[in-house]
Amino acid sequence: MLLCSALALTACSGTETAAPAHNPDSSTLAAATAKARPSNDATTVSAADLCGYLRGRLPALRAIDSDVGRMGNLTVNLYSWYEKQGAVPTGAQIDDQTQKECPDIRAELLKISGMQSFATL
């Protein structure tokens, strides 16, 4: 339900979405579906890459004037970013990586989004 709310909130926030593929055949569709399928293997995305991404998102998140809006924006954009990387970890895995690599960025993101941890995403 949180993800649905986040999607609804960010739909008007200017986040970009990819255009649908033009008439894919069944093999193209199957390959795309397999590639988009989330994985719980966060080890394919380095903590340094994650922290760099989060650091870059901070200015946009600071500009949103509500905790719920920031959380929704962060949820959608972080999920999209991870999907492009080929891995969608759990919130606990994100917490582990950010606690070790960039605790200052993690603390600010959680504070401005009104969250206790990334596990709430």
Chain centroid, CA 46 distance in Å: 14
- Report the chain's mean pLDDT, rounded to a whole number: 75
- The string of pLDDT tens digits covering residues 91-116 is 999 999 999 999 999 999 999 999 99
Report the pLDDT value the prediction gives residue 34, as an integer from 0 to 100. 38
- The string of pLDDT tens digits covering residues 50-61 is 999 999 999 999
DSSP secondary structure of 15-37: ---PPPPSS--HHHHHHHHHHHS
CB 21 within 8 A of CB 71: no
DSSP state, residue 55 = H
- Round to whole Å and give the CA distance between 43 and 21: 29
| Structure token pair of residue 121 | 């995403």
* pTM summary value: 0.65
Q: What is the identity of the amino acid at 6? A: A
* Residue 65 burial (C-beta neighbours within 10 Å; 0-12, 13-18, 19+): exposed
